[in-house]
Amino acid sequence: QNCINQEHCAVCVVPEVFGGDPCPGTMKRAVVEVMCG
């Protein structure tokens, strides 16, 4: 939602943004899907 109607956007990928870290110490990755219309 932070990126709606924005020409440029950045999302901070930290556990707090996603409700915590269910698996501390485990490497994670983020997958982003973008649709422009």
Residues 2-37: tens digit of each pLDDT: 788 888 888 888 888 889 999 999 999 988 887 777
Q: How much is the pLDDT for 36?
A: 76
36 vs 10, 30, 31, CA distance in Å? Answer: 16, 19, 17
Backbone angles phi and psi of 15, in degrees to 5? -55, -35
In residues, how long is the chain?
Answer: 37
Question: Higher confidence at residue 7 or residue 1?
Answer: 7
Q: How much is the pLDDT for 24?
A: 93
Q: How much is the pLDDT for 22?
A: 92
How far apart are alpha carbons 27 and 3 in whole angstroms?
A: 25
3 with 11: CB under 8 angstroms? yes
Angle at 21 between CA 31 and CA 24, to 5 degrees: 110
Q: How much is the pLDDT for 1?
A: 74
Q: How much is the pLDDT for 26?
A: 95
Q: How much is the pLDDT for 33?
A: 84
Secondary structure class of 33 (helix, strand, coil): coil
